[in-house]
Structure 1
Amino acid sequence: MTVPLRLGYKASAEQFTPSQLLDFGVLAEEMGFDSVFVSDHLQPWRHDGGHAPAAVPWLGALGARTSKILMGTSVLTPTFRYHPGVVAQMFATLGVMFPGRVILGVGTGEALNEVTLGLDWPDPPERFQRLKEAITLIEKLWDDERVTYDGTYYSVKDATIYDRPGPDAKVPIYIGASGPAATRLAGRIADGYITTSGKDPALYTDTLLPALREGLAKAGRPDDAIDTLIEVKVSYHPDHDTAMEKTRFWAPLALSPEEKRDVHDPMEMQRLADELPIERAASRFIVSTDPEEHVERIATYVDLGFRHLVFHDPGDDQEEFLRMYGAEILPRLRARFAE
């Protein structure tokens, strides 16, 4: 089976106000993007100039102002701030309001979003187990009319989600992962897999994609059974120095997992990121003044097997980015991978 190429837009909730972000999401549909994904952070990556709108009401507003674009979280954590039953209810409502257009992207979370609320922040193995159990509970609440569940971490008693899509219109669940365990889980049980670009190429070829195939094989699923989504970080400007400097706001992404794992304060995250040289701040991005170079470097991810590319531009002028990418890059990619 040939899987169609999807080209999406990453709405930078950490960088813009909810109203600005909504206008960008509407423009993305107008410019021919297939999807819009938004993160769900309680706090942004940096304090100065940062924003953190709640994803779920924002997705409802985007759905009301658009007609066909796919919408989803990249990613939401259904294990600490939210009880999985509440996540099931919220996304069932979105699915009823905008059938066939809503995706629930989930992950194990960031200290930035949970510790500030006084919640315990366990080690990665427990966070992984919590995610598995949360997905199980969410799906039971969508599948069954009345649910009593007593798990290791979560429980419900005589619970019903009264407004939910029918069995043929369920909200797909995508798992976001940057390590092999959660990636295998995505292959076993998810409708889609989410990861991010700009890391060591060997991570994708030697670790993540083999883990995804392993998970698919363990569940007896074909290689193309799920959507493979990657957030591709890009910075375009005719002036190279400007294209580099645009990445400064997102320098926290260049911090290693060890550097940022237990940081819960945007001020401290900002301090750590601002100490990075611009070359490292830009290291996660495709930085180029040439649209053709953007296409060539983006194509490497398609060649790896990713079929859903969601573009994240770090600049302040998102309208310029959406119009330029919509006019110059999306048509080139679609023509190149038409088969």
Structure 2
Amino acid sequence: MLKIGYKASAEQFSPSDLLRFSEYAESLGFDSVFISDHFQPWRHTDGHAPSALAWLGALGGRTQRIIMGTSVLTPTFRYHPSIVAQTFGTLGQMFPGRVILGVGTGESLNEVPATGMAWPEPKERFARLREALTLIRKLWTEERVSFSGEYYKTENATIYDRPSEPLPIYIAGAGPMITKYAGRTADGFICTSGKGWDLYRETLLPNLASGIEAAGRPSESVDRMIEMKVSFDTDAKRALEDTRHWAALALSPEEKMSVEDPLEMEKLADALPAERAAKRWIVSSDPDEQVERIKPYIELGFRHLVFHAPGPDQMRFLKLFSEQVVPRLRKAFG
């Protein structure tokens, strides 16, 4: 069954606005809400970066049924894994069956300014993530955990308030090794739309399947979640212009490598023309075109689509999208 989610743009809106948008998404029938856990936004001007951990508690109290989680949180630098285990244990106990911990290896934009650390190479970031998740799972299932890893340690640690069952963990990735690891160990895999098709067809999904097979798990045991970047409006020009706020996403990895200052990221993004800013987005005023351009991702196997809209009027987007696009998607794909 197709699941339809809403991406709460923490880098673009205030915490109270995000709550309002998310409540509205639930009332319109959306199945999930995910929020990124950034210490800094992509833009300094009019940027936001609320605490996802605090915000999820407020969201759970303001909603009734939606699944909610992080897309994504880095449990390895700003946070000790034991604090992540404690926080999500509390959320899981308060809102049973509704909380997902989505994790990734992190970005220097978030971790370096908050810690002053030297940003490590991908190999170390991946190793830290694996070790952190091992510790988090132990703290959710065992008492008096004394853990001595390469990066993290605990001594007789107990999470006293935790859910009766460990929470689902979703792992985000854009490369073969972490994707295969997600297939072996995670409850879900997270990636984003708008990249080259070869990445999905030849790298991500085959390695996810390989990891699932290596672990002897059923294919359907891993949720395939993708953040769908869509700019939909009845006004085509408005749909295009709305993407400007997120122009940083169109920067190449080389252009934004080791950029840790939102002011510098903003400067790089603002230099891009509107057409390039829109490159990562499905931009259209035609609901049938939206469905046709979303369709290839579903055909690849993604079944949990979390829609991220770039414009300032999120209520307008949610209403238009839920009325004109979502019913077509559900009719076509279940």
TM-score bin (small chain): over 0.9
Shift of 1:223: 1.8
Q: Distance in 2 between matches of 1:49 and 1:122?
A: 30
The percentage of aligned residue pairs carrying the same residue is 63
Work out which of the residue numbers 55, 61, 67 in structure 1 matches 2:52: 55
Q: Distance in 2 between matches of 1:328 and 1:243?
A: 15
When the two structures are superposed, what TM-score results if normalisation uses the length of structure 2? 0.98
Q: Which moved more, 1:319-328 or 1:227-236?
A: 319-328
5+ residue gaps, structure 2, are: none
Q: How does 1:1-339 map to 2 (within 5 A)?
A: 4-117=1-114, 118-167=116-165, 170-338=166-334
Cα contact 1:234–1:287 (8 A) shared by 2: yes
Shift of 1:171: 1.1
Q: Distance in 1 between matches of 2:118 and 2:164?
A: 36
5+ residue gaps, structure 1, are: none
Q: Distance in 1 between matches of 2:88 and 2:204?
A: 28
Shift of 1:236: 1.2
In structure 2, the residue corresponding to 1:105 is in which secondary structure?
strand
Residue type of the alignment partner of 2:145: V
Cα contact 1:110–1:261 (8 A) shared by 2: no
Deviations 1:140-162 (A, max 9, x none): 00010220100011010000000
Q: Distance in 2 between matches of 1:238 and 1:335?
A: 21
Residue type of the alignment partner of 1:149: F
Cα contact 1:85–1:141 (8 A) shared by 2: yes
Q: Distance in 2 between matches of 1:198 and 1:102?
A: 27
Shift of 1:296: 1.2
Q: How large is the RMSD of aligned CA atoms in angstroms?
A: 0.8
Q: Distance in 2 between matches of 1:22 and 1:244?
A: 26
When the two structures are superposed, what TM-score results if normalisation uses the length of structure 1? 0.97
In structure 2, the residue corresponding to 1:224 is in which secondary structure?
helix
Q: Distance in 1 between matches of 2:36 and 2:257?
A: 17
Q: Distance in 2 between matches of 1:110 and 1:85?
A: 20
Deviations 1:100-124 (A, max 9, x none): 0000000000111111121231011
Cα contact 1:147–1:158 (8 A) shared by 2: yes
Q: Distance in 1 between matches of 2:142 and 2:256?
A: 39
Cα contact 2:233–2:320 (8 A) shared by 1: no
Shift of 1:261: 2.7
Q: Distance in 2 between matches of 1:29 and 1:239?
A: 25
